[in-house]
Amino acid sequence: QVQLVESGGGSVQGGGSLRLSCAASEATYGIHCMAWYRQAPGKVREGIALIDSDGSTKYVDSVKGRFTISKDNAKDTLYLQMNNLKPEDTAMYYCAADLRTYRRCDYYTIYDYIYWGQGTQVTVSS
């Protein structure tokens, strides 16, 4: 059982930056996959960035070059640095974790992850 608690959301103007944090109850060095998803009103939850236990990362095209996923194993915390924010980035952002080492890390669906945080709201105004 992995408990995840996000923080760092808020309201920002377009072009601004935010850093989201996700504190994990388990040692992050041992978590096979960790990811950030987001869900805008009326839309499905979409995966936007992941990091595996080796530190390899992957991003969806819409955030590539603007967002950076990272983790601090000393603090057992996952981060999402978001720069040059756009109104279309407005959504609830969720941290996710998966321990199933037999699976390849990905973010195609919500079923790629078993453990979820409660979410943190990000609102970007134009």
pLDDT for res 86: 98
Nearest residue to 67 (alpha-carbon basis) of 78, 54, 53, 52: 78
Q: Which amino acid is at 65?
A: G
Burial 18-36 (b: 16+ CB within 10 A, else e): bebbbbbeeebeebbbbbb
pLDDT for res 94: 98
pLDDT for res 70: 98
Q: Are strands 67-72 and 77-82 parallel, antiparallel or unpaired?
A: antiparallel
CB contact at 8 A, 14 and 86: yes
| pLDDT tens series, the chain, 126 aa | 899 999 999 999 999 999 999 999 999 888 999 999 999 999 999 999 999 999 999 999 999 999 999 999 999 999 999 999 999 999 999 999 999 999 999 998 989 999 999 999 999 999
